Structure 1
């Protein structure tokens, strides 16, 4: 192991077998020092530290962040989404017997809604169309969902337009189908975003995949409740809570990928680029070149 480490160090310093001159010695020594103090820095695929697609909330070809005047807003938006989704998913799973989602209202309006919407607007400022669309939209989703559950608006409550005692409501559970329409629309939107992540990273793709399934399960649970299939509705809602919980932790994972670097963390978590992505192809070409020169 020591010989291998020394050979790698010599390679970093620009040496070959002793006949080639030292190239970029200062840069190589600085990189070697970073690896010494950050022994897990090599866990990222490829040579230099590049922004993770999840951490940048950008599924396409990412841009260098060196000349950017703004900080990366993606981890903020991802964290806001993750925490609000985590709390609501815990309610959908009936964790500790809690089955009333009103605890999610302040988070939905403040953190998951307002803060995520602001992060989406900042993504617009840094030129990330995907991040701006996704974060702003889900910020709007949480604000809308918070309004839906706010008693003062009385959209689903007693005496409201979908209540059983309302004169115009023939179906006493009409509100369940209305919520199903709401969730189905978000399922369709999330599917569109999911298709845009197929050339990014595994962790970024899984975030949208699990979120897509969460919306689908919750929408089907609302429809089943309207059809008086109460057992199926409960199981579908719990399944939606389970997928939502996975989505929450994947959002935190991608947020960490955007926050952690050699200046604040002893390790950088892997994001697993798809082999058909641009970064995956670069890694394969680099690996072939390295094998050919050995």
Structure 2
């Protein structure tokens, strides 16, 4: 008998999101400038890997997963476009106020996605709650040109990205061993 069990694409998407989020927020915290490491992670792992994970969530019938992973994958690609297109003469640079509006829209989207996690495990809830806070901090920091707030947001982003990596590894290890190796705060049925 042939098993048609599909693999869980969630850890791939969470790792792409988490690792890229940490790299960018090391920059936001003030440690490094935006470098090619951040840009290439944004295109390939934060961007393409999450879109692939989203397409695989579609195949599994997971509306939340497809919406989250494809949206955040394309977030990373659009952010890279915001940085690079002016450099090659294809668009005017985005000023900090409009970048703040862009980030606020992502904050609103993330807040609604957070509400979608309320029936999920606590780990996923934390990822989305901290990401909501991050987007709004980055939005306000850009609109008000508050470097201190942007630096603090960087630390929030490092925590958010780390929580996504933890959740990804917990899902991989828990599935691999058939038991809870790393707890994720599973909700009780009922």
Tell me the TM-score normalised to structure 2 length. 0.89
Contact 1:104 1:146 in 2 (8 A): no
User: Is the 8 Å Cα contact of residues 88 and 101 (structure 1) preserved in structure 2?
Assistant: no
TM-aligned CA deviation for residue 240 of structure 1 = 1.5
Match of 1:250 in 2: 163
Q: Counterparts of 1:261 and 1:103 in 2: how far apart (Å)?
A: 30
Kindly state the Cα deviation for residue 101 of structure 1 after the two structures are TM-superposed: 5.1
User: Contact conserved, 1:210 with 1:243, CA < 8 A, in 2?
Assistant: yes
Runs of at least 4 residues off by over 6 Å: none
Q: TM-score normalised to the size of structure 1?
A: 0.59
Q: Corresponding residue for 1:154?
A: 86
- 1:269 is paired with a residue whose SS is coil
Residue 99 of structure 1 aligns to a residue whose secondary structure is coil
Partner of 1:130: 64
Aligned to 1:75: 11
Change (3 A) 1:280 1:143: same
Q: How does 1:22-41 map to 2 (within 5 A)?
A: none
Give structure 2 stretches of 5+ with no counterpart. Answer: none
1:261, distance to aligned residue in structure 2 (A): 3.2
Which deviations, in whole Å up to 9, do the C-alpha atoms of 1:247-270 show, x marking residues without a partner? 111101111121013745996111
RMSD over equivalenced CA pairs, Å: 2.3
Quickly say closer, same or farther: Cα 1:266–1:224, change in 2 above 3 A: same
Larger Rg: 1
Flag structure 1 segments of 5+ consecutive residues without an equivalent. Answer: 1-66, 163-173, 226-232, 274-278, 283-294
Cα offset for 1:178?
1.1
TM-fit CA distance, 1:196: 1.1
Matched, 1:268 2:181: yes
Q: What residue in structure 1 maps to residue 39 of structure 2?
A: 105
Cα distance, 1:262–1:247 mapped onto 2, change above 3 Å: closer
Matched, 1:280 2:188: yes
Change (3 A) 1:93 1:265: farther
Instruction: Judging by fraction of residues, say which structure has more helix.
Output: 2
> Aligned-pair distance for 1:68?
4.8
Per chain length, whose mean CA-contact separation is higher, i.e. which structure has more relative contact order (CA < 8 Å, sep 6+)? 2
